[in-house]
């Protein structure tokens, strides 16, 4: 991974024998540490809910374009979103850009990322405990913990913790365990040990202690893994096992599903619905004789139950009418080139500040077919309800009020292009894509030609900022992957 580099000791001066990272002059030790902090910060944000192999090329492209935090701060948000395009969760890119600008302008920060995890969380937008811990330990050598899904899985299996991962008490306990461990292996001065330890825990969870089919046989911490020991005990005859006193019962753990139950799905285990077996090393109860099971051995099945998994809520489905609106004339005068209408999403929420084509939410089930008649009628009404700016500036002799007065759109041809399905973690978009060719009419011209166009009866609530762009401008606009696929339906059909 290109963001993995050797730790830079804070008290060792920069050596002239090291390769120069700047064409004009070698970086000072502090500058090199800050650059490493910037590189780790970007990698950690990109890696959130994204595969390493996907992030690798994005990270390289990012660093080539903005090798320093100052360069990023001077970039435009549109450029940042354009480079981020395809990674998803675009709020991450906006927060990185906002944070870079704050670091460069805040007199408290003076152009540098803090070394302390608490200060990182307090002063850098979008940096939480995990990212702060990664930067502080990997770059600055502080003994602070990190906790991601991989680390949580390792800790749950090591300690046999089976409790609701949504509970604050569970999260606090895991953070406490991670802190105890990193402080015990690096109790003294700053060093590379905390960073290597934290990265080692993540690597262990991603390569061996995986959600399914964990590599327990080759795991280096198998001797201390309570879950593995319990799984082996479950496989054997527990009739002779030592019983524990009732006061030793675990107060953290919920009843554990029976790993021999083939109906147990480790990806969607819901403890309330599954046959349960109490934690055998603590309850003082003798377990039943081992059961036969096909496929994976019972020890592996038992290990896969940890950490507890809660069934996810199904995503919401939304049916959308995506209108690619193409203007070819204005007040009867042909435009030199066709213009396309694009609108910018709100500053907050899903795909914030990204561009899209005007979209109408349809009140029909996503799996219901949209017939041509309904599609055409809905498109005509929706397009006619929009009040965009003129696709070209009107004549100055028409008066200041008329120069940028909203125009009326007269659909001349509507054609269905196809359907696009785009999935977010919590929402699925089912998009019916249409091309609507329109004539744009100024208010005076629309009233003169057709008074019915001046006031559409369609109850449009579409208030997003609208602009006109050439085809090249649409290509360059920062759009989500789903909307890019909608545009591709048109470009492929030409």
What token pair was written down for 247? 């006061």
Q: Going by C-beta distance under 8 Å and a sequence separation of 6 or more, which residues neighbour residue 452?
A: none
Write the pLDDT tens digit of every residue in 232-287. 988 875 434 454 443 345 778 888 887 877 655 554 444 444 334 444 433 334 44
pLDDT at 96 over 60: yes
- Asked which of 137-146, 335-344, 390-399, 476-485 is least confident by mean pLDDT, the reply is 390-399
The pLDDT-based confidence of 10 (bands split at 50, 70, 90) is confident
Please tell me if the domain spanning 2-208 has the same topology as the one spanning 316-394+401-452+460-492.
no
> How, if at all, do strands 316-330 and 427-441 pair?
parallel
Query: What is the CATH number that goes with domain 316-394+401-452+460-492?
Result: 3.90.79.10
pLDDT on residue 282: 38
Write the pLDDT tens digit of every residue in 347-363. 888 998 899 999 999 99
Please indicate whether residue 269 or residue 43 has the higher confidence score (pLDDT). 43
What is the spatial distance between Cα 89 and Cα 427, in angstroms, rounded to a whole number? 13
What token pair was written down for 392? 């070209």
Write the pLDDT tens digit of every residue in 385-442. 998 999 875 444 444 444 568 899 999 999 999 999 999 989 999 999 999 999 999 8
What token pair was written down for 184? 């015990």
Name the 3-class secondary structure at 71. Answer: helix
What is the spatial distance between Cα 383 and Cα 464, in angstroms, rounded to a whole number? 14
User: Would you call 44 a catalytic residue per the annotation?
Assistant: yes
Query: What is the CATH number that goes with domain 2-208?
Result: 1.10.340.30
**Bridge partners of residue 413, in order along the sequence:** 437
Q: Going by C-beta distance under 8 Å and a sequence separation of 6 or more, which residues neighbour residue 5?
A: 36, 39
pLDDT at 365 over 80: yes
**Bridge partners of residue 441, in order along the sequence:** 408
pLDDT on residue 391: 87
State the average pLDDT over residues 279-299.
52
State the average pLDDT over residues 152-178.
96
Report the chain's C-alpha Rg in angstroms: 29
Domain residues of the chain, as ranges?
A: 2-208, 316-394+401-452+460-492
The structure tokens 């906002």 sit at: 98
pLDDT on residue 348: 86
The pLDDT-based confidence of 11 (bands split at 50, 70, 90) is low
Catalytic, out of 44, 230, 356, 445: 44
Please indicate whether residue 18 or residue 143 has the higher confidence score (pLDDT). 143
Please indicate whether residue 25 or residue 62 has the higher confidence score (pLDDT). 62
């Amino acid at each position: 991974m290109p963001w993995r580099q050797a730790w830079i000791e804070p008290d060792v001066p920069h050596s002239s024998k090291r390769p120069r990272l700047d064409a004009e002059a070698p970086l000072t030790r502090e500058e090199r540490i800050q650059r490493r902090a910037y590189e780790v910060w970007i990698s950690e944000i990109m890696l959130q809910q994204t595969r390493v192999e996907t992030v690798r090329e994005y990270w390289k492209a990012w660093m080539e374009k903005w090798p320093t935090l100052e360069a990023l701060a001077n970039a435009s948000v549109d450029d940042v979103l354009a480079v981020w395009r395809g990674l998803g969760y675009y709020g991450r890119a906006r927060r990185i850009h906002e944070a870079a600008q704050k670091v460069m302008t805040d007199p408290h920060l003076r152009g540098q990322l803090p070394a302390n995890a608490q200060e990182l969380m307090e002063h850098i937008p979008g940096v939480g405990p995990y990212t702060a811990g990664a930067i502080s330990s990997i770059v600055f050598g502080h003994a602070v913990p990190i906790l991601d899904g991989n680390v949580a899985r390792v800790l749950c299996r090591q300690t046999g913790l089976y409790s609701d991962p949504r509970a604050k008490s569970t999260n606090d306990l895991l953070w406490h365990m991670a802190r105890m461990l990193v402080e015990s292996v690096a109790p003294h001065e700053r060093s590379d040990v905390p960073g290597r330890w934290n990265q080692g825990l993540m690597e262990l969870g991603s390569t061996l202690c995986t959600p399914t089919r964990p590599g327990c046989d080759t795991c280096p911490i198998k001797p201390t893994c309570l879950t593995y020991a319990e799984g082996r005990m479950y496989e054997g005859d527990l009739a002779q096992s030592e019983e524990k006193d009732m006061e030793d019962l675990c107060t953290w753990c919920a009843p554990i599903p029976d790993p021999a139950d083939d109906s147990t799905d480790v990806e969607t285990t819901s403890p309330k619905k599954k046959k349960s077996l109490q934690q055998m090393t603590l309850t003082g109860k003798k377990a039943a004789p081992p059961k036969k099971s096909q496929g994976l051995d019972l020890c592996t099945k038992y290990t896969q139950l940890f950490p507890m998994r809660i069934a996810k809520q199904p995503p919401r489905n939304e049916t959308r009418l995506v209108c690619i609106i193409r203007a070819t004339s204005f007040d009867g005068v042909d435009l030199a080139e066709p213009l396309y209408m694009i609108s910018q999403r709100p500053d907050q929420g899903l795909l914030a500040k990204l561009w899209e084509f005007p979209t109408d939410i349809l009140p029909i089930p996503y799996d219901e077919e949209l017939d041509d008649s309904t599609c055409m009628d809905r498109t005509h009404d929706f397009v006619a309800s929009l009040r965009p700016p003129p696709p070209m500036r009107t004549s100055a002799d028409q008066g200041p009020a008329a120069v940028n007065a909203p125009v009326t759109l007269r659909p001349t041809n509507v054609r269905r292009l196809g359907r696009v399905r785009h999935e977010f973690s919590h929402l699925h978009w089912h998009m019916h894509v249409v091309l609507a060719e329109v004539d744009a009419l100024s208010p005076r011209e629309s009233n003169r030609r057709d008074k019915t166009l001046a006031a559409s009866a369609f109850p449009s609530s579409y208030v997003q900022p609208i602009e006109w762009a050439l085809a090249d401008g649409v290509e360059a606009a920062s759009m989500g992957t789903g909307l890019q696929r909608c545009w591709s339906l048109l470009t492929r059909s030409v």
